[in-house]
Amino acid sequence: MRILYCASEANPFCGSGGLADVAGSLPHTLCRKGQDCRIVVPLYGTIPQDLKNQMNFITNFTVPVAWRHQYCGLFWARWNDCTYYFIDNEYYFKRATLYGHYDDAERFAFFSRAILEMLPYIDFHPDMIHCNDWQTALVPVYYYLFYSHRPWYYNIKSLFTIHNIQYQGEYGWEVNTECVGIPASETKILEMNGKLNMMKGAIETSTRVSTVSPSYAAEIKDPWYSYGLHDELNLRHYKLCGIKNGIDVVSYNPETDYQLYRNYSKDDMSGKGECKRALQERLCLEQRWDIPMVAMVTRLVAHKGLDLVRMGHEELMDTENMQFVILGSGDKEYEDYFNYMQAKYPGRLCFCHGFVPELARKIYSGADIFLMPSKQEPCGLSQMIALRYGTIPVVREVGGLKDSVFDSADNYGNGFTFKNYYTADMQLAVRRALWGIQDDAGWHQLMWRAMMSDNSWDRSAQDYINVYNDTLNWS
């Protein structure tokens, strides 16, 4: 099967979030499973020079952007036995950051159209074009309107994956005239609430729609989670499916991870205690193995459940024998809160501002409990990484958290969960974990079950292959 994987970022070339992790892992796993999966991303100016040196020029051509044509260069490279294509236009992509520019709509309209225009030049006729998030949402729209009836492009199917429905590519209608270029007779495809909505167009024109977890696929049909797209998704419910993301279990492996203070495995967990002690020393916390350490590695934004933490955390610190570590950055109100808490509980609480990948791994391995009380969570990777390192997650039953963490009350689960978005419910789940850790034998079994959890891309990739094959049979 020939698959073209379209994304606005992909490791190791360019990344700013979880999409880069997915795009840098899933296609490689598909290739290992015998599929011909190739990746296309913009040629950003931020790509490291050593990686640019590995790229090879293919050709250049022009791409329609509304009423004008823009230059497009095309490059390719091999990385880990997977072919990457790079769409080059320095005006659009040679910038200091990937997103957040005034002309993002134009930049990614160009990128989406260039993906389709490049195909004859690489002599690659995909069976499936897999698009991701609003930045590539126009690919199935353009294919439906401008390419589906051309002989060379005949019978290409498309899958559009929603990683976070909150970001839909919503703009005023002037963007169509200046950037998108959809004929006036077809603008209903993109129209929603009087605005142009790229994600809505992808849902309408793609062959299938997926999300990054089965629970999230059900949730986004509900107005509470859909950010206005529930009617569109319910109308086309037959297209929708959910496939849980995976993690790179080779990189995230406590037996071999060189960034840990000490390696360990599910069969020999002795090294985890040293990871905890060394982390306590580094963060100026009291070095005691018998004090449970609760940790968070997160963006400090509301949908990560930080309001629950802010309302219930102080009481937990006052009433429970625990340490708390948080690594992240985001909204000032949350940063100010954790700075205040660090000052109030010296030696028991540490706020590490920013995101330091090596420190994150040391926290995953050194903590006892990992807190993730998200208000919304399409999939989540942190809870899967925590499981991999034997750090027991406490999560709210939402989205991918619900699909990957199961309550241990029956002695079969791998963590602790709570359902309602209430402070008291979160506090009780944390307390249950703190009570559980006092039973050494039971906690050891729980850690073993956590580390046995299968969140590899092998599982997820096979699910995608099944969806691809099913979709190819659709008329």
Residue pair 169/135 in contact (Cβ under 8 Å)? The answer is yes
Give the number of other Cβ atoms within 10 Å of residue 401's Cβ: 28
Q: What is the DSSP string of 247-302?
A: B-TTTS-TTT-TTSSS---SS--HHHHHHHHHHHHHTT----TTS-EEEEE--BSG
Q: How far apart are the first and last CA of the chain?
A: 17
Q: What is the DSSP string of 181-217?
A: ---GGGGGGTEETTEEEHHHHHHHHSSEEEESSHHHH
- DSSP at 179: I
Residues 6+ apart with CB under 8 A from 340: none
Residue count of the chain, please give it: 475
What confidence score (pLDDT) does residue 212 get?
Answer: 96
Residue pair 206/140 in contact (Cβ under 8 Å)? The answer is yes
Q: What is the rounded CA–CA span in Å between residue 417 and residue 164? A: 22
CB-based burial, 134-144: b 16+ in 10 Å, e otherwise: bbbbbbbbbbb
The β-bridge partners of 42 are: 87
Q: What is the DSSP string of 295-342?
A: EEE--BSGGGTHHHHHHHHHHHHHHS--EEEEEE-B-HHHHHHHHHHH
Helix (H) or strand (E) holding 450: helix 440-452
What confidence score (pLDDT) does residue 96 get?
Answer: 92
What confidence score (pLDDT) does residue 80 get?
Answer: 87
Answer yes or no: same fold for 2-246+458-472 and 270-454. Answer: yes
Give the number of other Cβ atoms within 10 Å of residue 68's Cβ: 11
Q: What is the rounded CA–CA span in Å between residue 73 and residue 60? A: 4
Residue pair 23/39 in contact (Cβ under 8 Å)? The answer is yes
Q: What is the rounded CA–CA span in Å between residue 343 and residue 311? A: 17
Phi, psi of 87, rounded to the nearest 5 degrees: -90, 120
CATH of 2-246+458-472, one of 3.50.50.60, 3.10.400.10, 3.90.1150.10, 3.40.50.2000: 3.40.50.2000
Residue 146's Cβ-side half-sphere holds a number of Cα atoms within 13 Å equal to: 19
Q: What is the rounded CA–CA span in Å between residue 261 and residue 263? A: 7
The β-bridge partners of 98 are: none
Give the number of other Cβ atoms within 10 Å of residue 236's Cβ: 14
CATH of 270-454, one of 3.30.410.10, 3.40.140.10, 1.10.240.10, 3.40.50.2000: 3.40.50.2000
C-alpha distance from residue 66 to each of 116, 140, 183, 261 (Å):
15, 16, 9, 55
Q: What is the rounded CA–CA span in Å between residue 220 and residue 217? A: 6
3 state DSSP class of 158:
strand
Give the closest residue to 207 by CA, choosing from 244, 168, 238, 169. Answer: 238
Give the closest residue to 110 by CA, choosing from 148, 66, 145. Answer: 66
Domain parsing of the chain, residue ranges: 2-246+458-472, 270-454
Instruction: Tell me the two tokens of residue 372.
Output: 């993730």
What confidence score (pLDDT) does residue 91 get?
Answer: 96
> pLDDT 10s digit of each residue in the chain, 475 long?
999 999 999 999 998 878 998 999 999 999 999 999 999 999 999 999 999 999 999 999 999 999 999 999 999 999 988 999 999 999 999 999 999 999 999 999 999 999 999 999 998 999 999 999 999 999 999 999 999 999 999 999 999 999 999 999 999 999 999 999 999 999 999 999 999 999 999 999 999 999 999 999 999 999 999 999 999 999 999 999 999 999 999 999 999 999 999 999 999 999 999 999 999 999 999 999 999 999 999 999 999 999 999 999 999 999 999 999 999 999 999 999 999 999 999 999 999 999 888 999 999 999 999 999 999 999 999 999 999 999 999 999 999 999 999 999 888 999 999 999 999 999 999 999 999 999 999 999 999 999 999 999 999 999 999 999 999 988 6
What confidence score (pLDDT) does residue 475 get?
Answer: 64
The β-bridge partners of 220 are: none
